[in-house]
């Protein structure tokens, strides 16, 4: 029996990993044939019906291949932060698998807070390996929409408020994912900057704002990261739905940027029979059917299904347009499941847990420290932990980022693990926020019910503080409705659930108090003055607790920097009117118009230009050591072709004109990393420009007393603004100021140069 089974199993294993060699196989099945030749060979063999079938879903998360030709179907999966658990063929409900518990990686707002391109590459490689192991072809992420308002429910899924930062972080993420033969589907294109009425809001944006703020990260993903897929967004732009928006998809994405990949609709984002045919959509997903209703195959009712076939038959659609869609889909298939490389992936591995922990730890931002951190509690001492987020698991919920994880180390568990009985660690809840433990049939297994009143919860926490050496409050937001959550926006900038009262009551005990805010977006902190230390944590994934403890105890010196501004009040921000947010609708009008009247002035561009004080500025973050900046210098570089007036998007892809150097020294007692930030100011511009704009950053690690010279190259793109009238980028002659520092307001050294 063994002599029969072992060769059989070996043959099955080999057939699953590598395609057998075929004599005289058609070109499209030969991995050694160039990609475009494979695409054209397959296309020539396909019928019209087979081509149309590929352009729409066949289940909740798959779209067809060509079975007759042995061309694989396409499997999509949610997860900018981890691979979604399997769902039923026609329903959103979980399929009930026991082997689909993934590694949860930190939220993308956390990744952005690391300001570390190498970590973005590690993140992409790791999550790409998990997707490949699960046989997924398109990973629905990362997200790079701008932080226009801190109330946006999906801020935690995006990479901050600055287009340069997001562009620099998305490129290595995309490359890392695609190294595994998995397409990164960058989303949501474009201006998907709020969740309230997200499917019926029309974004009205001028071209300068569009090109300077809301497009650069997407363009970098395409032109520098070579992203293989883009997802359209639910909203409209200038009156047309973005999943079939001609300006965005045809003119800009596939025209100006030369994108040769596939455009995928957001689930249910396709709304019309005609526009998807001509306006750049390639794969329609999630449209108005669960596959269980109607006669025949309900997926044939999709806009790009039978209605598309009818248009082709009667001449309302042309074959050339269909062939373009089919080419893009075939290109995706031959780059993923039918690629020449052998991609196996790995899943919930020790390496992935280590990556998640490293990314989470290096993203944590130290906002305030009066000497309370790192924690120093003598053996036999006592630590009181207060707050729901010390205990509540946070990978479940949030919408499409909902994950079923093999493990999630909560902060309370990690603290017990670290102190190992040498220090007494006790926990009081302090407040009741969200007792939900289940989302989409994924359950944490926790029981969060608590019948105590808010007053009793606070009193119990204060009483427990009497015996504590240090109080550690761990609160913040969660992934329930009106918090950090897909489908809803936040309703306030302040902490919910009465947490401010808890913090102030704990501060009145006189014990050293550390406040850890776990969230994916900015919160107001009117209580900041009563805390001895404040730490911005994030949704840190499977190793969240251990990463947080690494920083709190000094095992990791904090080096994260804020990827967004933390204002004192929501009213201080740039969105002042209802027409700006959440939008207005005239009588009889179908959709809500949302006017981007603030133009390019979002985030620090608004606060720094207007001179409005903020609680914590963009780019801010402390360390357990200190850094000294000096000797900013600018050297002109003569580069052949640099004098051209044609410049690229401001993502660092043009000719180098100036090299800026600055000396940075660790003047403190411990080793640490500093994010050196370079901002450019154009005080002589002929148009209104922000007071400064981020155009370079580097994370440099230094031992105590060590100094290094950090170098930045600036090209014309870094100096340019977008001239909408001429549809071109303009770098005007005159004086430019170089501002180098530790945040957008903490400028340590400056220089200037003349552009002739």
Residue whose entry in the numeric block shows the structure tokens 């903020």: 614
In angstroms, the CA 157 to CA 199 distance is 18
Give the pair of three-digit tokens for residue 576.
């002042």
In angstroms, the CA 492 to CA 495 distance is 8
Contacts of 351 by beta carbon, 8 Å cutoff, 6+ apart? 126
Quickly list DSSP for 144-169.
Answer: ----S-TT-TTGGGS--S-HHHHHHH
Secondary structure string (H, E, C) spanning 586-622: CCCCCCEEEECCCCCCCCHHHHHHHCCCCCECCCCCE
Query: Hey, is 66 helix, strand or coil?
Result: strand
Q: Are 327 and 39 in contact (CB under 8 A)?
A: yes
Query: Hey, is 17 helix, strand or coil?
Result: helix
Closest CA to 618 of 35, 160, 208, 62: 160
In angstroms, the CA 63 to CA 150 distance is 35
Q: 137, 162, 266, 489: which is the annotated catalytic residue?
A: 266
Residue 162 among the catalytic residues: no
Contacts of 743 by beta carbon, 8 Å cutoff, 6+ apart? 561, 562, 617, 618, 619, 620, 621, 677
In angstroms, the CA 243 to CA 230 distance is 10
Q: At what angle do helices 163-178 and 216-223 cross, to 10 degrees?
A: 30
Contacts of 16 by beta carbon, 8 Å cutoff, 6+ apart? none
Catalytic residue positions? Answer: 266
């Amino acid at each position: 029996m063994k002599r029969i089974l072992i060769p059989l199993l070996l043959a099955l294993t080999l057939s699953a990993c590598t395609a057998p060699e075929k004599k005289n196989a058609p070109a499209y099945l030969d991995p050694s044939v160039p990609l475009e030749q494979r695409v054209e060979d397959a296309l020539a063999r396909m019928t019209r019906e087979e081509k149309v079938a590929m352009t729409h879903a066949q289940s909740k998360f798959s779209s067809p291949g060509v079975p007759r030709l042995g061309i694989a179907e396409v499997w999509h999966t949610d997860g900018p932060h981890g691979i979604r658990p399997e769902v039923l063929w026609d329903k959103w409900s979980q399929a009930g698998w026991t082997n689909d518990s993934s590694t949860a990686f930190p939220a993308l707002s956390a990744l952005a807070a690391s300001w570390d391109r190498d970590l973005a590459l590690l993140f992409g490689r790791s999550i790409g390996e998990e997707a490949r192991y699960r046989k997924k072809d398109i990973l629905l992420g990362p997200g790079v929409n701008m932080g226009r308002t801190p109330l946006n429910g999906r801020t935690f899924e995006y990479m901050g408020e600055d287009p340069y930062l997001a562009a620099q972080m998305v490129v290595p993420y995309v490359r890392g994912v695609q190294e595994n033969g998995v397409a990164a589907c960058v989303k949501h294109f474009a201006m998907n900057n709020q969740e309230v009425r997200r499917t019926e809001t029309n974004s009205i944006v001028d071209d300068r704002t569009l090109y300077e703020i809301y497009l650069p990260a997407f363009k970098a993903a395409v032109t520098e990261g070579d992203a293989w897929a883009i997802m359209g967004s639910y909203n409209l732009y200038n009156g047309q739905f973005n999943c079939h928006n001609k300006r965005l998809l045809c003119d800009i994405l596939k025209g100006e940027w030369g994108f040769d990949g596939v455009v995928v609709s957001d689930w249910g984002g396709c709304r019309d029979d005609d526009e998807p045919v001509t306006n750049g959509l390639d794969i329609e997903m999630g449209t108005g059917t669960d596959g269980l209703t109607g006669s025949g195959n309900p997926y044939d009712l999709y806009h790009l299904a039978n209605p598309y076939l009818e248009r082709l038959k009667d001449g309302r659609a042309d074959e050339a347009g269909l062939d373009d869609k089919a080419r893009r889909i075939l290109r995706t298939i031959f780059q993923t499941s039918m690629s020449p490389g052998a991609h196996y992936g790995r899943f919930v591995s020790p390496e992935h847990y280590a990556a998640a922990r490293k990314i989470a730890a290096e993203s944590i931002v130290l906002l305030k420290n009066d000497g309370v951190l790192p924690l120093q509690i003598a053996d036999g001492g006592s630590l009181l932990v207060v707050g729901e987020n010390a205990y509540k698991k946070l990978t479940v919920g949030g919408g499409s980022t909902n994950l079923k994880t093999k493990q999630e180390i909560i902060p309370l568990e990690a603290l017990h693990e670290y102190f190992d009985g040498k220090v007494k660690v006790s926990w009081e809840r302090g407040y009741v926020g969200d007792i939900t433990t289940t989302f989409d049939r994924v359950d944490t297994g926790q029981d969060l019910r608590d019948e105590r009143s808010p007053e009793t919860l606070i009193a119990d926490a204060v009483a427990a503080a009497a015996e504590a050496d240090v109080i550690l409050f761990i609160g913040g937001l969660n992934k329930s409705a009106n918090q950090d959550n897909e489908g809803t926006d936040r309703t306030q900038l302040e902490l919910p659930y009465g947490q401010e009262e808890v913090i102030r009551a704990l501060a009145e005990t006189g014990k050293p108090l550390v406040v850890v805010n776990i969230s994916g977006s900015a919160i107001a902190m009117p209580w900041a003055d009563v805390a001895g230390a404040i730490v911005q944590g994030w949704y840190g994934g499977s190793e969240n607790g251990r990463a947080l403890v690494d920083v709190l105890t000094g095992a990791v010196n904090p080096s994260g920097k804020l990827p967004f501004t933390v204002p004192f009040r929501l009213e201080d921000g740039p969105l002042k009117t209802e027409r700006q947010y959440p939008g207005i609708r005239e009588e009889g009008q179908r959709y809500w118009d949302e006017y981007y009247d603030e133009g390019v002035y979002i985030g620090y561009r608004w606060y720094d230009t207007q001179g409005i004080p903020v609680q914590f500025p963009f780019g801010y973050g402390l360390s357990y050591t200190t850094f000294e900046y000096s000797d900013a210098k600018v050297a002109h570089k003569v580069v052949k072709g640099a004098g051209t007036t044609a410049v690229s998007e401001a993502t660092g892809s043009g000719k180098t004109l100036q090299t800026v150097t600055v000396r940075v020294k660790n003047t403190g007692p411990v080793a640490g990393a500093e994010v050196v930030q370079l901002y450019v100011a154009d005080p002589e511009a002929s148009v209104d420009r922000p007071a400064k704009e981020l155009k370079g950053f580097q994370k440099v690690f230094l031992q105590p007393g060590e100094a290094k010279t950090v170098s930045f190259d600036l090209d014309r793109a870094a100096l340019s603004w977008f001239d909408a009238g001429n549809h071109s980028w303009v770098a005007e002659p005159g004086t430019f100021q170089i501002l180098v520092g530790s945040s957008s307001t903490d400028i340590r050294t400056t220089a200037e140069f003349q552009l002739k």
